[in-house]
Structures are given as structure tokens and as C-alpha cells.
Amino acid sequence: MADVFADLVGQDEAVVTLRRAAASAAALLRVESTPGVTVEPDGPEAAGGPGAGMTHAWIFTGPPGSGRSVAARAFAAALQCGHGTGCGACPGCHTTMAGTHADVRLVVPEGLSIPVKEMRALVLRAASTPSGGRWQVVIIEDADRLGERAGNALLKAIEEPSPRTVFLLCAPSTHPDDISVTIRSRCRIVPLRQPSAEAVAEVLVHRDGIAPDVAGWAAAAAQGHVGRARRLARDPEARQRRDAVLAVPRRLTGVGAAFDAAAALIEAAEAEAAASVAELDEAERAALQTALGAGGTGRGAAAAMRGAAGQLKDLEKRQKSRATRAQRDALDRALVDLAGFYRDALTSALRAPVAPVHTDTAALAEAGGQRWSAEGALRRLEAVLECRVAIEANVKPRIAVEAMMLALWKG
Ligand SMILES: [Zn+2]
């Protein structure tokens, strides 16, 4: 039986840190259940020497796809593990990995930020005694999307933690834009690296049963993003969308074509996002209507309907925020693919001895590299990266993408 850390691809150092901390946490629980003995959570007596101990707040950092939330969930499982190791087989491990453990809460912000109301409620619940007798664990995915007020609510909880509460934050980096300096200063950092294409391919072959040649291609094309590689290997629609993005450089034959390409890219991102949220939106709407007694005829139903308008409006607002986020994520994936193409053109122009990101368009990228020279390829690569930065900084996607397409065409 694989233990809970088996899904962390190419993260040996982080796994060592987390195993030690889990052992230390288990030792703490044992000591606490022995009357008359106290132990400092970070003290060397906790287990494994100084720095190896348990602490109440952690930040998992790394590029998208490196497995930040996978690492956080595995660590949560190890904390709830009956053996204190993350064995992968006991009920504690099992329920945590399945997302049903009563003392593990996962926060996935659906919009572009985490509402302060949600954060306060969460902090309050996290302070309660763990029902399973081990730890209350709160995992916050995309903690970089915490607004200032939500961040402050969290900071208070981290500054004065309940003895059995553990916060696991996931963020791209510990840059102040991602995580406030005050929160960061109270957390232990677990840096994750971008796994190599070989490591990703190996996982696809051995864990997902994907054919080695497909796995190799998908792992390279996904640029170290395990989830993306898996999707590319399995989902023909994901492959089609990628093909369409990689056809962009060939299509840029003039100003009109550049605007057409921009419109097509935006529309494809919108369509992909709409498909990804449609089912969830509908289920939520149906659930709310049932809760509000829609279709009922009694006096209670009529009373419920009077408050319903506000709740429906709230739900629509939340769904709109989620759709915007899904669109941005889809667009960003497309831009990363496009950046990979120009990166291939650049490395080819420089005759750098590295494998191409997109093996299936390597010949095209090479031709581009010859035509544009290294400088031209670099300018184009920078245009794509600038577009990502602009969208991240809230420039309207259509405007940012049009500017990028024009830059790619002009060189
Ligand atoms: Zn276990």
C-alpha cells in the first residue's frame, strides 16, 4: 500500500520535512496523554532534533502543478494517521485523502478572493476541539487570494493558535504580493520544486497506466504540471484546445489575423470555463431552490420565497466570480502553452542542448527561431509573459491578449 506522500512527484526534501513533522506531532499527542509531562512543540525533545518538530502554521510554495495542495493534504493525512506516519491505510489517512475527515477543512476560494465572512467562520470552527482526538487541520488553497481583511482574520488565529489547530496554506511563493509578511513570519515554509518531465512521465505510466510514449509527450508539454499532464494524456478535448493555441504563431499573418487570433483565444477560454462551471452552477441553483421551498404551496413556502430573492442574488454573484476565475485560469493555461512554443524557438535559435517543451511543434519552433533569431524569439516570449502579468494585474483579458498578438506578429 502506497503511503500518503506517494503522490508528491519529485519532492524528496519536502517529504522528509513533512514525515519528521508528522512523527513529531504524533510524539506530542503521546506526551500530552501522559500526565505531568509537557513538551514544547518546536523543542528538540518533540522528535528528531531541533527544527524537525511540529508547528501550527505552514506555507507550501511552488509553481502551479508542483503539488502544493497535494502536499498539504498528504501532511493533513499524516497528522490524522492512527500510526502517526501517513500510512495510507488507516481510517484517519483514508478519510483525509477522500476529503471526508471531520477535523480537516479544505478552503478552495472560488472567486478571485476569499470572503472575510468565510474566513472568520472558518477560524472560529478551527479553534474547536478536534472530534477525532488528534488535530484540527485547515487547508487554504490559493492563500495568495486572501484579501486584506480575510488575511487579518487568519493572522489573528495564527498568532494565538489553539493547541490542536494546524493551518496549512498554499501559495505560489512567499513574495509579499502572495502572502503578507506578518503571516509568513509565523509560518514554516515548505518549498516545492517543479518536478522534472521524467518524474511526471513516470507517475503517469506507473500510477495512471498511461502508455510510455503518450506519458512522455504529455509530461513535456505540461511543463512539470502533473494534473495538466494527466489531462492532456487522457482528455482529447484538452489536446484539441492545446493544438488550437499552438496554431496561433502560424496564423499571425497581419493585423486582422492578430485580432482574430486574440478573439479566438478569448472565446476558447470562455467556452472551456463555461463548460467547467456549468454543472456546478446548475446543481447549486437547484439545491438553493429546494432549500427555499420553490414549488411548495404551503404558507411556509410563501414566507421562504420572500427572502429568496436576496439569496439567489448572492448565489449568482458567487457563481459569476467563480466563472471569471475559471476563465482566467483557462486563459493562463493557454498562455503557458504559447510561452512554451516561443521558448522552444529561443532555445533552438541559441542551439541550447535542452529538450523542447512541445515535441509536436518542435520543427515549427525551430523554423521560427531561424527566422526571428534569438532576440526576436525572446521578444515574443516576453510578450506572452507580459500578457500573463497584465491579466494578473487586472487588465481586461481581451485588451492584454490583443496587445500580445500584435507584439507577436510584429516581433
Ligand atoms: Zn494512517
Q: What is the pLDDT of residues 86-96, one digit of tens each?
A: 999 999 999 99
Residue 298 clears pLDDT 70, i.e. is over it:
no
CA–centroid distance, 361 to ligand 1, in Å, is 45
**187-207 pLDDT, tens per residue?**
999 999 888 889 999 989 998
Segment 367-388 shows an average pLDDT of 96
CA–centroid distance, 206 to ligand 1, in Å, is 22
Q: What is the predicted pLDDT for the residue at 289?
A: 74
CA–centroid distance, 313 to ligand 1, in Å, is 43
**What letters, b where the CB count within 10 A reaches 16 and e where it falls short, cover 154-192?**
bbebbeebeebbbbbbbbbebeeebbbeebbeebeebeb
Q: What percent of the chain has pLDDT over 90?
A: 52
Q: What is the predicted pLDDT for the residue at 1?
A: 52
Residue 329 clears pLDDT 70, i.e. is over it:
yes
Strands 165-171 and 57-61: parallel
232 — pLDDT class (breaks 50, 70, 90): very high
Residue 372 clears pLDDT 90, i.e. is over it:
yes
Residue 230 clears pLDDT 70, i.e. is over it:
yes
CA–centroid distance, 174 to ligand 1, in Å, is 30
Q: What is the predicted pLDDT for the residue at 268?
A: 86
Greater confidence (402 vs 196) lies with 402
Least confident interval from 54-68, 168-182, 264-278: 264-278
CA–centroid distance, 94 to ligand 1, in Å, is 7
Residue 226 clears pLDDT 60, i.e. is over it:
yes
**103-118 pLDDT, tens per residue?**
999 888 766 677 888 8
243 — pLDDT class (breaks 50, 70, 90): very high
Report the chain's mean pLDDT, rounded to a whole number.
Answer: 87
CA–centroid distance, 42 to ligand 1, in Å, is 23
CA–centroid distance, 87 to ligand 1, in Å, is 4
382 — pLDDT class (breaks 50, 70, 90): very high
**Alpha carbon distance 190, 335 (integer Å):** 28
The answer to whether 105 and 130 are in contact (CB under 8 A) is no
Q: What is the predicted pLDDT for the residue at 114?
A: 77
Segment 35-54 shows an average pLDDT of 52
Q: What is the dihedral angle through the alpha carbons of 350, 355, 356, 358, rounded to the nearest 10 degrees? A: 180
CA–centroid distance, 85 to ligand 1, in Å, is 6
**129-188 pLDDT, tens per residue?**
898 889 999 999 889 888 888 899 999 999 988 889 999 999 988 888 889 999 999 999
248 — pLDDT class (breaks 50, 70, 90): very high
Please, which residues have CB within 8 angstroms of residue 202's CB and are 6 or more apart in sequence? Answer: 9, 215
The answer to whether 96 and 73 are in contact (CB under 8 A) is yes
CA–centroid distance, 369 to ligand 1, in Å, is 52
72 — pLDDT class (breaks 50, 70, 90): very high
CA–centroid distance, 78 to ligand 1, in Å, is 6
Greater confidence (335 vs 277) lies with 335
CA–centroid distance, 4 to ligand 1, in Å, is 8
Query: Three cell numbers at 101?
Result: 475527515
Q: What is the predicted pLDDT for the residue at 48?
A: 44
> Which residues are placed with Cβ below 5 angstroms of ligand 1, an ion?
81, 87, 90, 93
CA–centroid distance, 65 to ligand 1, in Å, is 25
The answer to whether 56 and 158 are in contact (CB under 8 A) is yes
**6-32 pLDDT, tens per residue?**
888 889 999 999 999 999 999 988 887
